Amino acid sequence: MSTTETERGPETEAQLVDLAAYRDPETLDRIEQAAREAVRHTPAGIADLTTGTVHLGKADEAPAAAPADAEAAVIEYTDEDAGTLEILDERDGWHLRTLIPETFTDPGFWRQRRAEWTNAAAFHTLRSPVYLWRATRVAGIGARVAARDSWSYLWATEYGEIADKVRRTKAGPEHIADLRADRRKEAKQRRREPVTVYSLTGCTSYVAAVLALGQTWGWVMAAPVLLPLFGVLYALGRRELIRREPDGTFRIADAVDFTGAGVLTEDGLNDALRARNVGILRDGESVTVKGFIAREADDKASVVRFELPRSAGKTAKEVMAKRDPLAAALAVDAIQLSIRQDGHEGEVYMRVADAHPFGGEPVASPLLTAEEWSIWQGAPTFVDETGRIIPIELLFFGLLVGAMPRQGKTFTARAAAVAAVLDPTCRIVVADGKGGKDWAATALVAEAYIRGVTTAAVRRLTHVLEDLVKEMTETYDKLFELPDEVCPDGKLTPEIVRDYGIHPLVLIADEVQRYLESADKESEDDKLTYGQRIEKALTDLAKVGPAAGMVLILASQKPTGDAVPSAIRDAIPQRIAHLCATYQMSDSILGTGSSASGWNAKDLAPAFKGMGIHADETGYRFMRSLLINLPQFRAICERGRALRIAAGTLAGEAAGDGGRRARVGGIVPDLLAVFEEAQLPERMSTAEILDGLAVLDPGTWAPAALGVGEEDRTAYVRAGGTALRKAIDEALAGTEWNLAVRSWTSGGRANGYYLADIRAAAGIA
């Protein structure tokens, strides 16, 4: 022991005292065993006698004596807890729950047992008439046997058989006479035996009691009294059947068949995997169930994790590819069967639902009542086969939805889009190639809302997308300038959105293939059509845009290579396929080889609209999109608009500014700005428009810029009107639009321009 000089004088340093030297061998063995049990599941995983060591802060302050039960204790005393003893009893790790097998404490196990018992009871109840008939037949055999044996005993019929044998040997008549005399004597003696008398008396009394009860209380009340007789006769009949077939198996009740009941058993699982059209297991092979088969908390499905026999050489992917024949072997619909890899290649997770998971009414989106949402929390889009609402990762992934017409593409895209609508920091651009009312409400929040596939709409979408590509490059420049601590992964984060105002943008394009099919050009000299320019811009945004916060929600009736190029599809890792016409169409959405793996949208049930298959980097799952109808969607968009107004993030067309409203160029955006400044009247005269333009751009439209005096109003309107018509013609050159001046006076004099004409020329519906 050594000392150390301190401000308070010499103090003794901490000392390590080995208690092992003060314990008997039995105590040391008990402490070591307890220590091993305590650390068995810890990262260290090794126990030794250090757990039986006392660390004393100061030797002269060590406790004088250990507690009474210190024989089974570990004591630790440190400087941090000076003056305090911590007693760690080895018995602390001995809990009743650890001594009871897991099968007796897991609720899922007992739910599974209850389901088996319930289904077994139902199975036997339905077959109870068959069992009753079988039992009655056996009792009938017993009655016949009882009558035969009783007659044989009371009348000594065995003597008759002996007499027949003697007669066949041609013995003398005196021998047969002796046998007959012996038979009469033996029969008389048997009938006089007490057992016989008591038995006959008991049977007579029993029959009399039954008859009396039936006459008094009715034969229905007398029926239970016959049960003992029925039981005796059944036992006699069962004994007779066993005598007839000693090696046979006698059974009244059938073995319970859980096939089709949704209750999975280990035998049923192995039988299904051995089925001829499944062929995962050979005869004699069986899977190893990990743990036990259990029921989910909602008691609507059985769940099992199992390992395939290594000798079989099969994998979880092969089991998934056999989904349809495996479902047939289990007598369930394929959609009731969920299979995925669980651990290594030979471990499988399987879920068997009791009924079709999407058989009820569609589930409403939880965002119907949400006042606000963050797109960083994901986008609640669908429910999976377990009934859980699944929020997909929209940011950095995007979404591609494809299907046949009227199978719920727009509903699915809408369910995902509302997460962006309710996030005031999220910008939105919408292109509705269908041209209907499905996305009309987004005009309340969208920086650009493009409806239809007219030449003007396609041209406008082209310009918007090309602007977004430029903006994407600028965003990357901004992210590049940020410190690594602020932008550690080189992509947008919630903190960057908050502190630097770089907001995510969601581009929604419904029936996108219609825009890609456009063969028009902006001018005769252009080499690329609008469709080709849109394809190039979408490819850039899909491949490079996600890290900059730009994601795509694309929906298409024909997402095959000739409609939506694979360069776009392959850049969107998250897809949803509703009912498809062919397996090739399904593969074009979900990815090549998905049908061969057992995930084919062609086989989906058409009766359940909105049902489909979701694919992402984690695998596949069945889904059904959340329901949001048009009135509900408009209400959500109105809330999204209010949120953006409050946050000061409403921009573009929704805010009524030039922004993304007009992409024709030239004078058209300025004309829209003049109308907006005047509170969007139906029409404005040329003089009023010139006054607005003079305020907006005095260097071009002020009287002095046009070479006329400010006092000469007539000359200003004449010169300005001519210059305005020339500017409009230049802006709309090469298009089908011509802002012909419409007159509204009886004299036929042309006085100005209509807002509807300007909006139409700008491609705004």
Please check whether residue 425 lies inside any domain of the structure: yes
Q: Note the pLDDT of residue 251.
A: 74
Q: What does the pLDDT average to over 35-58?
A: 48
Q: Which value, in Å, is the radius of gyration of the alpha carbons in the chain? A: 45
Of 62-66, 157-161, 606-610, 664-668, minimum mean pLDDT range: 62-66
Q: Which residue has the higher pLDDT, 209 or 448?
A: 448
Instruction: Tell me, yes or no, whether 358 lies in a domain.
Output: no
Q: How confident is the model at residue 749 (pLDDT cuts 50, 70, 90)?
A: very low
Specify whether 324 is located in the same domain as 379: no
Over residues 65-92, the mean pLDDT reads 40
Q: Under a CB-based contact definition with an 8 Å cutoff, are residues 62 and 27 in contact?
A: no
pLDDT of residue 504: 93
Count of positions (residues) in the chain: 765
Same domain, 412 and 550: yes
Residue 339 has pLDDT above 80, yes or no: yes
Among 2-11, 606-615, 733-742, whose mean pLDDT is lowest? 2-11
What SS3 class is residue 338? strand
Report pLDDT for 750.
55
Model confidence at 20, pLDDT cuts 50, 70, 90, reads low
Residues 423, 553 within the same domain:
yes
Same-domain pairing of 593 and 469: yes
Name the most confidently modeled range: 393-402, 515-524, 590-599, 739-748: 393-402
**Residues 386 and 293 occupy one common structural domain:** no
What's the pLDDT score for residue 185? Answer: 79
Calculate mean pLDDT across residues 593-604. 78
- Say what the pLDDT of residue 738 is: 65
Domain end point (choices 578, 611, 645): 645
User: In the predicted model, what is the mean pLDDT of the chain?
Assistant: 77
Q: Are residues 529 and 569 in the same domain?
A: yes
Does the residue 141 lie in any domain? yes
pTM for the model stands at 0.60
pLDDT band at 540 (very low <50, low <70, confident <90, very high): very high
Residues 406-410 have a mean pLDDT of: 82
Burial of 42: CB neighbours in 10 Å, binned 0-12, 13-18, 19+: exposed
* d(C-alpha 654, C-alpha 449), whole Å: 9
Domains in the chain, number: 5
Q: Does residue 380 share a domain with residue 235?
A: no
> Average pLDDT for residues 1-17, to the nearest whole number?
49
Does any domain span residue 99?
no
Q: Which domain holds residue 482?
A: 366-645
Residue range 413-418: average pLDDT? Answer: 92
Return the SS3 of 55: strand
C-alpha triplet 434, 439, 442: angle, nearest 5°: 145
**Amino acid letter at 717?**
V
How sure is the predictor about 32, in pLDDT bands with cuts at 50, 70 and 90?
confident
What percent of the chain shows pLDDT beyond 90? Answer: 10
CATH number at residue 494: 3.40.50.300
Average the pLDDT over each of 220-234, 292-306, 353-367, 726-740 and give the range with the smallest value: 726-740
Q: Within a domain: residue 254? A: no
Q: What is the DSSP string of 86-133?
A: EEEEGGGG--HHHHS-GGGT-HHHHHHHHHHHHHHHHHHHHTHHHHHH
Q: Over 70: is that where the pLDDT of 573 sits?
A: yes
Given this model, what pLDDT does residue 311 score?
78
Q: Which of 149-163, 478-492, 587-601, 711-725 has the lowest mean pLDDT?
A: 149-163
Most confident of 21-30, 372-381, 741-750: 372-381
User: Any idea which of 119-123, 245-249, 705-709, 726-730 has the lowest mean pLDDT?
Assistant: 245-249
Residue 336 has pLDDT above 90, yes or no: no
Tokens (6 digits) for 110? 């007992």
Q: How many CA atoms lie within 13 A of 415 on its CB side?
A: 28
pLDDT (average), residues 206-213: 75
Residues 323 and 205 in one domain: no
Is 285 strand, coil or helix?
A: coil
Are residues 327 and 381 located together in one domain of the fold?
Answer: no
Do 517 and 634 sit in the same domain of this protein? yes
Tally the C-alpha atoms within 13 A of residue 210's C-alpha that lie toward its C-beta: 13
- Three-state secondary structure of 624-659: EECECCHHHHHHHHHHHHHHHHHHCCCCHHHHCCCC
Cβ neighbors of 34 (< 8 A, separation 6 or more) are 72, 90, 91, 93
DSSP 7-21: TTEEEEPPEEEEGGG
If DSSP states are collapsed to H, E and C, what string results for 174-242? HHHHHHHHHHHHHHHHHHHCHHHHHHHHHHHHHHHHHHHHHHHHCHHHHHHHHHHHHHHHHHHHHHHHH
Let me know if residue 8 belongs to a domain.
Answer: yes
Whether residue 530 is predicted with pLDDT greater than 60 in this model: the reply is yes
Residues 331 and 410 occupy one common structural domain? no
Does 655 reside within a domain? no
The pLDDT value recorded for residue 587 is: 82
Residue 506 has pLDDT above 90, yes or no: yes
Same domain assignment for residues 233 and 307: no
Residue 258 resides in a domain: no
Higher-pLDDT residue of 606 and 693 is 693
- Specify whether the CB–CB gap between 591 and 616 falls below 8 A: no
